[in-house]
Chains A and B, each alone.
Chain A
Amino acid sequence: MRRAAGFVRLLLAFTLLVGCATPRGAPGAVTDLKPGERPALDSDEAGLWMAVTRVETSLKTSGHVVADPALNTYVQGVVCRLAGPHCDDIRVYIVQTPHFNATMAPNGMLQVWTGLLLRADNEAQLAYVLGHEIGHYQRRHTLQAFRDVRAKANATLFFAALTAAAGVGYVGSLVQLAVLSSVFAFSRDNEREADEVGFELMVRAGYDPQEAAKIWEGLLAERKAMKDSDPSIFFATHPPTDERVATLKALAAKTVPAGEPELGRERFLAATLPFRAVMLRDEMRLRRAAATQLVIDRLLASGAGPGEIQFFQGELYRIRGDTGDDAKAIRAYETAVASGAAPPETSRSLGLVLMKTKENVRARAAFARYLELQPNAQDREMIREYLRRLD
């Protein structure tokens, strides 16, 4: 019995970790979150925290988080530049998934999905999105939304949406996202407020506020290219109103940065370029060529590592396989190779398309080049088989 009693105490400690007494609401004005602040144990806010703590635990063990220390240090660094005294309260999780999303939970868990890192041109654009999320966090918008929704007796749906919004790299069907946005989409007022806070943080940290509108423009262009058929979890929670870009531009126009506004392009590229190939490969696997083409266009325009981008341009054509795509793919691969910095896979892909178009001599040369560049390629035996067939 004595052994059991000690155990029972520990088991009850479990209870405190996972459960709280019935939360009481605290109606009235919601004040800004202070650094290091924790909600009272029996408050509704604590209930909210507990719900997301569960999500955070499963996120940590999900296997979808990018563990690389350098990338994590970099993103955490940007967060801290923006968040100042709140820096210690915010935990960054980089989730490997090609969808665009950044989401901050009320307890300080910040997810940054790699689809976002692929689409930002520079640190200033990343800072806008992160600053916006920090704005929601500081102003406790999630708590406000919860109280509003609870007043309308929709609390259970809210939690489901919260869990979904904090879900790991998973976008879900259009129907599910519609449910999500009907409950969890931030109101226009909250969005405006988060943009204002985000701007303030951006500017205080020295970033160029004109970059904010650009990342939205990119997202809206992708949505248009996919004719609205592409589920976007970011849009579900941050409604892409027409006025948003105009508002961001107006905010930028009236903001006077102190000193020389930064883009932080070099730092951003240094941190993200090592992952770009993986991020692009994940993007390609989504098989949504119209949107991916816009991503590629932006990356080509930015000029960093064109060999790699031209390779993926070629991949887009090769995999899409419409009339005329074979020729376009070949041109893209050859441009990549000519740049001198194409990934070795370029020659393999080139070989595959040339083999398909029956240009055997050129195909052989491409495959041979691939094997020369990557003698330990995982598919070297199959490439040698192609070479034999082309003989």
Chain B
Amino acid sequence: MIRPLGLLMLVSVVATGCAVSLIEPKPTTIDGTYTVQPQIKWASVPARKGLEVWTVDGPALEAVTFVKGLGDGEALMKGPIPGAPDEDKRPKFRAQMTPSEIVELVTDSYVLFGAQKLETSSLRPAKFDTTDGFRFDIGWVTRSGLEMQASAAGAVVKGKLQMIIYSGARAHYFPKYRDDIERVFGSVKLL
């Protein structure tokens, strides 16, 4: 059985080579739709279609995953994933979804990709710049038993889901950049 490095490492699939790029602490455009302002340097690692993944220490330890304009009928993670059902059997985003249902999209996707004992909390309204959006938190255990946490922010913008999920190991890594991430969430500016 393939032993993945971690759930979010599976996210990292090469799109155009093995290039890792540097993210400087300045306004950065995501999906041509909005900008964020990171406070520290991040590394943008190769990611699956429709996603962008930043990390400081490696995505299995902590990662900022940008879901870039997920459209109606699309799955959160595309392409083959070892041990997970085919793309057509994965939960899909629907443009009419309420935040409650978007949470279910994320949790059910994560569970299908191997997350165990997954719990969500604190679903609340939050502005995604000027758009009404949402925030929620998640906790889970990976297949190898490492406890993970995540915090998500997002909104449906022009019928497409824009979402930022910050995740990390409960021990040390998730708390490490929490404050920076709150500032990133707060810095969202729609173009």
A and B touch in the complex (CB under 8 A): yes
A378 within 8 A of partner (CB) = yes
The majority secondary structure among interface residues of chain B is mixed
Give bound CA distance, A171 to B114, whole Å. Answer: 10
A172: B residues at CB distance < 8 A? 1, 83
Report the stretch among A35-43, A56-64, A214-222, A269-277 that lies at the interface. Answer: A56-64
Q: Give bound CA distance, A319 to B123, whole Å.
A: 19
Chain B contacts for A170, CB-based, 8 A: 1, 83, 114, 143
Contact string against B for A residues 44-64, beta-carbon threshold 8 Å, 1 for contact and 0 otherwise:
000000000000001001111
A150 smallest CB distance to B (angstroms)? 22
A382 and B100 in contact, given A64-B145, A170-B114, A287-B91 (Cβ under 8 angstroms):
yes
A131 at the interface (CB under 8 A from B): no
Supposing A356-B96, A378-B123, A386-B98 touch, asked if A285 and B108 sit within 8 A by C-beta, the answer is: yes
Are the C-beta atoms of A355 and B143 separated by less than 8 Å? no
* B101 near A352: Cβ-Cβ < 8 Å: yes
Q: A170-B143, A382-B99 are in contact. Are A164 and B116 (CB under 8 A)?
A: no
Total A residues in contact with B, Cβ cutoff 8 Å: 31
Contact: A63 with B147, CB < 8 Å? yes
**B82 within 8 Å of A by Cβ?**
yes
Q: How far is the CB of A180 from chain B (nearest CB, A)?
A: 10
Asked whether, in the complex, the Cβ of B83 is within 8 Å of the Cβ of A379, the reply is no
Interchain pairs with CB closer than 8 A, number? 75
Closest beta carbon of chain A to B130's beta carbon, Å: 16
Chain B 63-97: CB-based contact to A (< 8 A → 1; otherwise 0):
00000000000000000001100000111001010
Q: In this assembly, does A209 line the interface, its C-beta being within 8 Å of a C-beta of chain B?
A: no
B92-128 residues at the A interface, CB under 8 angstroms: 94, 96, 98-101, 104, 107-108, 111-112, 114, 116-118, 120-125
- Cβ contact within 8 Å between B145 and A285: no
Q: Once the chains are docked, how many angstroms separate the CA of A123 from the CA of B117?
A: 26
Q: Is the CB of A176 within 8 A of B1?
A: yes
B166 interface hit (Cβ, 8 Å): no
Query: Cβ of B111: which chain A residues have Cβ within 8 Å of it?
Result: 282, 285-286
| Shortest Cβ distance from residue A62 to the other chain B in the assembled complex, whole angstroms | 4
8 A–B contacts, CB within 8 A, in A order: A63-B116, A64-B117, A164-B1, A170-B143, A282-B111, A287-B90, A319-B104, A382-B134
Is residue A108 contacting chain B, with contact meaning CB distance below 8 A? no
**B155 at interface, CB cutoff 8 A:** no
Q: Which residues of B contact A173 (CB under 8 A)?
A: 82-83
B141 interfacial by beta-carbon distance below 8 Å: yes
Q: Which residues of B contact A169 (CB under 8 A)?
A: 116
With the chains together, A378 CA to B144 CA distance in Å?
A: 28
The 8 A-B pairs with the shortest beta carbon distances in the complex, nearest first, are: A379-B123, A381-B124, A385-B125, A63-B141, A63-B145, A62-B145, A378-B121, A285-B111
Asked if B1 and A168 sit within 8 Å, CB to CB, the answer is: no
Residues of B close to A210: CB separation below 8 A? none
Say if the beta carbon of A190 comes within 8 Å of chain B.
no
Q: Report the separation of the CA atoms of residues A286 and B107 in the bound assembly, to the nearest whole angstrom.
A: 11
Is A97 close to B, CB under 8 A?
A: yes
A344-377 CB contacts (< 8 Å) to partner B: 348, 352, 355-356
Known: A168-B143, A379-B122, A385-B132. 5 other contacts (CB 8 A): A176-B1, A285-B112, A321-B94, A378-B121, A379-B123
Q: Cβ of A321: which chain B residues have Cβ within 8 Å of it?
A: 94
Determine whether the beta carbon of B123 is less than 8 Å from that of A97.
no
Chain B residue at smallest Cβ distance from A349: B100
User: Is the pair A382, B1 in contact by a Cβ cutoff of 8 Å?
Assistant: no
Check A64 against B141 for contact (C-beta < 8 Å): yes
**Minimal beta-carbon separation of B176 from chain A (angstroms):** 21
* In the assembled complex, A111 has its CB within 8 A of some CB on chain B: no
Closest residue on chain A to residue B82 by CB atoms:
A173
**Chain A 237-282 residues near chain B, CB threshold 8 A:** 282
A96 CB–B CB distance under 8 Å:
yes
Tell me the bound Cα distance from A352 to B96 in angstroms: 11
List chain A residues, Cβ under 8 A from B123.
378-379, 381-382
| Chain B proximity of A368: nearest CB distance (Å) | 16
How far is it, in angstroms, between the C-alpha of A164 and the C-alpha of B3 when the chains are bound? 12
Q: How far is the CB of B94 from chain A (nearest CB, A)?
A: 8
Contact A352 B98, CB 8 Å, known A170-B83, A382-B123 = yes
Query: Chain A contacts of B145 at CB under 8 A?
Result: 58, 61-64
A287 touches B114 (CB 8 A): no
Instruction: Check if A305 is an interface residue, CB within 8 A of chain B.
Output: no
Instruction: Return B109 CB to nearest CB of chain A, in Å.
Output: 10
Question: In whole angstroms, what is the CA distance A321 to B105 when docked?
Answer: 13
Instruction: Give B1-34 as 1s and 0s: 1 = Cβ < 8 Å from A's Cβ atoms.
Output: 1000000000000000000000000000000000
A158-174: contact bitstring with B at CB < 8 Å (1 yes, 0 no)?
A: 00000010011110110
